[in-house]
Structure 1
Amino acid sequence: MNQPITLRQLRYVVAVADTRHFGRAATACHISQPSLSAQVQALEEMLGGPLFERSKRRIILTPLGEAIVARARRILAETQDLLLAARDQAAPLAGDFRLGVIPTLGPYLLPRLMQALRRTYPDLRLYLREDLTDRLVERLRRGELEAALLALPADDPKLESLAVFDEPFLLAVPTGHRLARANRVTPGDLSGEHLLLLEDGHCLRDQALEVCRSAARTETDTFGATSLSTLREMVAGRIGITLLPALACTAPTTADGDIAVRPFDAPVPSRRIGLVWRRGAARRGEIEMLAEFLRQHLPEGAVPIAREDAPDLSELAVGKAAAG
């Protein structure tokens, strides 16, 4: 191997692996397709074998390609961490920050925080990615996100997490329903009721099933809603009842006049929300700062989880201003 492998070549190979198309990969990398193809071919010659099986219909990774792409992702992620570590020393929580968030949380939490976040960290450019947990975890592993707001635990040895707050569950029933007259409910009160659920892939689906266990009837093989808003509309249509996270219950919808929301009796069922990131990531200090910011600015309904060694945001903000 007479020539060194370049980061540019690794980025091109990963782009082809992600898109399974040389043309789309070239567009994503902002270069011409012949230039990208030439760089990939040069890398294949250096490595002594093809990375892709090429045909008119599809691109398939060879065994060598699978191994090289996996290593390329790690190298590119480490390189990004190196750049971010240097930037973090200059100004914490500044520049681009890619944050993932699950769809049962993002629309109900983040809009209430963005104004305060911009005031506290005016140099931060926050890019949000809303997706299901499994896909966000995969993006974290690949270095495509700095962190993600997920329901804990995140059982992955390659990831670390920090609990931020607990979010209680509330019961949503149609107005006039027998449980609408109760001040508080228990999981046992749901006996015989039709529990509406989100579709497979949403962690909230499994959490709702765990809370209700065998008390309520579910039709797990028929219909699964794609969003909490859909669940609320179905409850308003008297199709069944559902569990909603507390923050989602304060967002106005057209169904509000047709549903009643009731709290659970102690012990109140809830989910724990935390920030998750790749183990060894360079921006861990910034992620901890973001976690503390969230704790201090949570809307009503969320219960912050105190952390004795959390950074003092006022001191950090003053220090940043002095550095600038």
Structure 2
Amino acid sequence: MTLKDLEYFAILAKLRHFGRAALEAGVSQPALSIQIKKLEAELGLCLFERSNKQVVLSPEGAHLLQRAENIIQQVSDFRTCAKSFKDPYQGHLILGAFPTLAPYLFPQILDELHQSYPEMKFFIKEEKTEQLLEMLKQGKVDAAFIALPHEDKLLESEFIFSEDFLFAVPANYPERFPSHLSVADLKGRELMLLDEGHCFRDQALEFCTVNQLQERFDFRASSLETLRQMVAAGLGLTLLPQCAKNESDKIRYIDFEDPAPQRSIALFWRKSSAKAEIFREIADDLKRVLTHA
């Protein structure tokens, strides 16, 4: 049995006429008839019920048709995938990012990526950093935006951008703060932070530990948006990355004096990836786009 046999079977099942099926298959009618008979003999089944006027799928043929069509589609997908390796600018790419970056970064960059790589389809995946790295190594994600520092012998990376942290306070907070904060000004304060598993929590917690700030243990947020809403409601203070800033009359965002606390983001991909050169190009494109954003 060959793939061509299954293709003939599927074409005849669709058209139910040997003459029209032979024309679509690009073979003579006798040749098509011989191949179908050989396939039936090999399977020990009658795939079609034949008469002078029509060709009808047998019950066994009807049952096997979907499987044949699935195999034909899988082979087609296999060929498409192989073609994408020969032309890396075709096919699809799955890009990942962690939750405190994905909803802010992807809306900024996807249009640029579609314009720069029109033959490529982009899909996005949002996961916490630990899961994202595992998916990247398993090939479930092609490339991912990860906060630095991160070292892995299986992965290659290119720095994309850095962004400052901001101090977020309710607009009606009774205490007045300067337009630029010294880190020392925050000593002893309590901040609301994200829940376990978020890399931004780890970064903020390190900042708190080094500068003698405290975490509020009565509340942990599941997202940056929750943190923002809690601040807007006047329920506490927090740190937010620059990308999460949303102009609001209920929140005041205060910059830090230099050197401001910040996070750095890089694009990571597998060293073995056939699209490694494209990821370097994408990294260069995104550095340009985000620098001028």
TM-score range, shorter chain: 0.5 to 0.7
Residues 1:265 and 2:257 aligned together: yes
**Matches of 2:196 and 2:286 in 1, distance apart?**
28
Q: Could you say which structure has the higher strand fraction? A: 2
Query: What are structure 2's unaligned runs of at least 5 residues?
Result: 1-63, 68-77
How much does 1:233 deviate?
Answer: 0.9
- The corresponding residue for 1:229 is 225
Asked whether 1:155 is paired with 2:151, we answer: yes
- What is the CA–CA distance in structure 2 between the aligned matches of 1:290 and 1:298, rounded to whole Å? 12
Aligned: 1:247 with 2:269: no
Q: From 216, 221, 229, give the equivalent of 1:219.
A: 216
Query: Aligned residues: percent identity?
Result: 37
Indicate the residue corresponding to 2:135 in structure 1: 139
Offset from partner CA, 1:267-319 (integer Å, 9 cap, x none): 11111100111232221101111111111111667xxxxxxxxxxxxxxxxxx
Alignment-derived partner of residue 6 in structure 1: none
Contact 1:196 / 1:231 at 8 angstroms: preserved in 2?
A: yes
- Give the drift of 1:141: 1.2
Is the CA contact 2:129–2:199 (under 8 Å) kept in the aligned structure 1?
A: yes
Counterpart contact for 1:173–1:180, Cα < 8 Å: no
Query: Aligned residue for 1:174?
Result: 170
- Shift of residue 99 of structure 1? 0.6
TM-superposed deviation, 1:113: 2.1
- Whether the aligned pair in 2 keeps the contact of 1:174 and 1:180 (CA below 8 Å) is no
Figure out how many residues of one structure are paired with residues of the other and give that number. 216
Instruction: Report 1:1-324 matches (<5 A).
Output: 87-92=84-89, 94-177=90-173, 180-213=176-209, 214-220=211-217, 222-249=218-245, 251=246, 256-298=248-290
Q: Secondary structure at the match of 1:197?
A: strand
Which runs of 5 or more residues in structure 1 are unaligned? Answer: 1-31, 36-79, 302-324
Give yes or no for contact 2:188–2:212 (8 Å, CA) kept in 1: yes
* Cα displacement (A) at 1:217: 1.9
For 2:185, give the aligned amino acid.
Answer: D
User: Residue 196 of structure 1 contacts residue 242 of structure 1 at CA under 8 Å; is this kept in 2?
Assistant: yes
Cα distance in 1 between the residues matched to 2:147 and 2:94: 18
Q: TM-score, normalised to structure 1's length?
A: 0.61
Letter in 1 for 2:273: A
Is the contact made by 1:154 and 1:276 (CA closer than 8 Å) also made in structure 2? no
Q: C-alpha displacement at 1:140, in angstroms?
A: 0.7
Q: Give the deviation of 1:115 after TM superposition.
A: 2.1
**1:41 maps to which residue?**
none
Letter paired with 1:232: R
Kindly provide the amino acid, as one letter, of the partner of residue 286 in structure 1. I
CA contact (8 A) 1:183 1:262 kept: yes
Larger-gyration structure (1/2): 2
1:91, distance to aligned residue in structure 2 (A): 4.7
Question: Quick one: distance in 2 between partners of 1:206 and 1:281?
Answer: 30
Using the alignment, how far apart are the partners of 1:205 and 1:100 within structure 2? Answer: 19
Distance 1:269 1:138 in 2: 28
Give distance in 1, aligned partners of 2:255 and 2:146.
23
Cα displacement (A) at 1:127? 0.7
Shift of residue 192, structure 1, vs aligned partner: 2.9
With the length of structure 2 as denominator, give the TM-score of the two structures: 0.68
Structure 1 residue matching 2:200: 3-state secondary structure: helix
Residue 317 of structure 1: aligned partner:
none
